Amino acid sequence: MSKKILLDKINIEGIKSFDVYRANGGYASVEKALKMAPNDVIEEVKKSGLRGRGGAGFPTGMKWSFLDKKSGRPKYLVCNADESEPGTFKDRYLMEFIPHLLIEGMIVSSFALEANLSFIYVRGEFRWIIKILEQAIAEAKRAGFLGKNILGTGYDLELVVQTGAGAYICGEETALLESLEGKRGLPRIKPPFPAVVGLYGMPTVVNNVESIAVVPWIVLNSGEEYAKVGTAKSAGTKLISACGNINKPGVYEIELGLPVEEFIFSEEYCGGIANGKRMKAVVAGGSSVPILPTELILKTAAGENRLMSYESLSDGGFATGTMLGSGGFIVYDEDQCIVRNTWNFARFYHHESCGQCSPCREGTGWMERILHSIENGHGKMSDIDLLWDVQRKIEGNTICPLGDAAAWPVASAIRHFREEFEWHVMEPKECMNRNYGLREKSIMSIA
């Protein structure tokens, strides 16, 4: 049984309420942190080896240490709760069922960063979660954990929930800051980085929900204890949103370093492939990471067991590896059409491109149209090479990673499943007949 850090109390009856959460040890980390120096809290997070759980995996403590504290300007902490990666729903799970864990994490993290005003930027579609968070904030404030002179320590903190408008691009931290300032959510050119010039031009840290929610445990139990969980380079636990053709879709907390095969096939987690089918492929970290066929998601190029960790999943680069990303684990069975599901991803990225960069604005639409043509029996062999060329010219040529996110699934689908693309071109009628029954159960609709 894997160690539970984030989900160990989530099934306690009434844990959404302040009284029950407090009775079960909630907000103890706030009491401890406020007796520490802010930089000592940052040091504990650095010792923990915690890496950002939003997708990039950058060391959280190091990111905090970059914050400009010398200028004397106001500092801000912004929680990125704009969870919108297809296949990913673990942050929503935390906010919905144990909201005070995030509020506690925001208080401790804000204190460490010496921020007196912090924000939770929530995806606009999460209307019911916004109400849950606002109620939790009100409860914490009534109990003296927010507002002026928290617990008599002299530390002040106001926490604001800001609603987004359903734009995937606002999951990128600088586009999120633009939106928070009331402007159109367009990514900024970096440098300068938010740690120096962020919200309202002030030093800012942006972390996602899971990253902030684990901080209370680290402060209470020490960074060294957290670092003992997981692997040397991928410390701690990770929430995984598992969906697709598996017997037990849901949110799972795993110790990083768990074998991928165990995660997919054990009863503790996904419970194997649904309906007795064989596994065909896996998207391991949400729709923006490369897809891998069964033989590569279970074993590395060197023949070792592939592990659920940042370093193991990326082993071999994109030729044979992928990324842990946001932890959106999508499993395809043998009946799934790679071309159709890649087209579905391409439709999403074309729709969500902000249009600021020409390679992404034009390239995502081009990829969608080519994939649509191939999927619907109008493709040519030259279209496959054209598709490869288009994605290659998007990757690395945009201000933010959305262009890369759109290109990687297409590149990996062609790299590992080119014969399926060719089959669509050579046998369009047979392909369309076979796919007709799959349309209602595409991976995207299952996710």
| pLDDT tens figures, 279-307 | 999 999 999 999 999 999 999 888 899 99
- State the pLDDT at residue 51: 95
Provide the phi-psi class of 49: left if phi over 0, else alpha when psi is between -120 and 50, else beta.
Answer: left
293 closest CA partner among 312, 274, 319, 270:
319
- State the pLDDT at residue 3: 86
Are β-strands 258-259 and 307-308 bridged in parallel, bridged antiparallel, or unpaired? antiparallel
Q: What type of residue sits at position 134?
A: E
- State the pLDDT at residue 434: 67
Q: Please report which confidence band the pLDDT of residue 429 belongs to, taking 50, 70 and 90 as the band edges.
A: confident
For residue 419, with 0-12 CB atoms within 10 Å meaning exposed, 13-18 middle and 19 or more buried, which class applies? exposed
Mean pLDDT (whole number) for 345-353:
97
Report the distance separating Cα 353 and Cα 363, nearest Å. Answer: 10
260 closest CA partner among 245, 250, 270, 247:
270
Report the distance separating Cα 8 and Cα 92, nearest Å. Answer: 17
pTM: 0.93
- Say if residue 171's pLDDT is above 60: yes
For residue 162, with 0-12 CB atoms within 10 Å meaning exposed, 13-18 middle and 19 or more buried, which class applies? middle
| All structural domains of the chain | 18-227 (3.40.50.11540), 237-333 (3.10.20.600), 338-446 (1.20.1440.230)
